[in-house]
Structure 1
Amino acid sequence: MLALLHTSPAHVPVFDALRDEAHPELELRHTVDEDLLVRARAEGPDAVAGEVRALLAEAARDGAGAVLCTCSTIGAVAESVGAEVPVLRVDRPMAEAAVAVGPRVVVLATVESTLEPTASLVRDEARRSGRAVAVRTLLADGAWPLFEAGDTSGYVRAVARAADTVTAADADVIVLAQASMASARDLTTTPVPVLSSPRPGLAAGAGAVYANAAGLR
């Protein structure tokens, strides 16, 4: 079983659909705690470390083979607090793919609290691969209130408009910092490759579950 830690209920059907498409044999267990993101935005990600640690321990007790944190703001905290099972952040495979595309990376987010954690992740993956990168951050102004209001189509359109301001002269690749932004990829017209996290993140989580079950952790 793969446990998923979300900070929005909107992620549940997204990951269920991806599981049904690509990993039909994988059992998912969803935990949604919206207050984690609220507090992390107000006080900083480290403020929720205790709550995250408790949720990871609960997932392990319930039989999870791995945990996938789908919130980019608290992803680094989830990776670092320690757990009895592997803990992955959903955006790490995306960041790894981004640095392989080229050295100029634009991190696009809809909440400011996600910008630096994702930029730091990209730099970390660049160091791991021995590549040099220049990371620029971009906030999709006005998008997040649409998400909070439940206007998903307006939200992804706003994300796509922000992505389309990035040209090939500006960047080699754009990363959509939040899992909620993934659908905007289909609406963009920029020639710059646009990467999102849910599909590769879920694949990595599934791989961790199978490796744990095989004793390869």
Structure 2
Amino acid sequence: MVTPTLALLHTSPVHVPVFEGLRDQDHPGFALRHLVHEDLLARARAEGPEAVADDIQELLVRTVAEGAGVVLCTCSTIGAVAEARAAAVGVPLVRVDRPMAAEAVAAGRSVAVVATLESTLGPTRVLVEEEAARAGRPVDVTTVLVEGAWERFEAGDREGHTRLIVDAVDALEGVDSVVLAQASMADAADRATLPVPVVSSPRPGLRAAVLRCAEGVKS
């Protein structure tokens, strides 16, 4: 039986080579289909994630109708809305940051959520609290916005973007784990020197989505 195609919903084209590289390293030969919709993030930032909910639902339904077995949403800002709408219409969807949140909760009670977009902080905080409740673990969540990092990312200054994130992470005190809330922040995970787990979403998110595709074949 053929494994279902995995479609990835991105809000920036920079995520395409990241996930292609992870696929080649961890899941060689696995078919990926990339959907890039930068407008969804722009509108979600300006008007709130619910403003794009109907568009996301239409996109998800169309993507499955065109042959995708599972959708992986790689944007944390719209992840909660995408997850809710997918559940409502029966589309198999994996939110890229949910496995990361579960990993952070398992590391200890105090979790710091670090983001470069303010619109990502609220959804990611709620996500961490959901995973803590699911695991039956108490959690204290703090949030950190890395000022200026997103502007550098948009300008193509990836090194400057990562350096600001690393500096913010290494300045943290009294936390058990750190969540890098956006897939675009993943490079900072390996460079931070803070002696606690610093977790990012692309690798565990892709792994979860690939497993979801395999489950579809078994069922």
TM-score, length basis structure 1 = 0.96
Aligned length: 213
2:134 is aligned to 128
| Structure 2 residue aligned with 1:5 | 9
Equivalent runs, 1:1-217 vs 2, <5 Å: 1-82=5-86, 83-167=89-173, 170-215=174-219
Corresponding residue SS for 1:190: coil
Q: Is the 8 A contact 1:60 1:84 kept in 2?
A: no
Give the CA deviation at 1:84: 4.0
Instruction: Give me the whole-angstrom Cα distance separating, in 1, the residues matched to 2:208 and 2:197.
Output: 21
Inter-partner Cα distance in structure 1 for 2:180 and 2:23: 20
Identity of aligned residues (%): 58
Question: Quick one: which amino acid aligns to residue 144 of structure 1?
Answer: W
Give secondary structure in 2 for the equivalent of 1:171. Answer: coil
**For the Cα contact (< 8 Å) 1:166–1:192, is it kept in 2?**
no
Answer with 4-13 or 58-67: which moved more: 58-67
Q: How far is the alpha carbon of 1:213 from its aligned partner?
A: 1.9
Gaps of 5+ in 1: none
Q: Aligned partners of 1:156 and 1:68: how far apart in 2? A: 24
- Normalising by structure 2, what TM-score? 0.95
Greater shift in the superposed pair: 102-111 or 191-200? 191-200
Q: Any conservation in 1 of the 2:15–2:184 contact (CA below 8 Å)?
A: yes
CA RMSD of aligned residues (A): 0.9
Residues in 2 aligned to 1:19 and 1:106: alpha-carbon distance in whole angstroms: 28
Unmatched segments (≥5 aa) in structure 2: none
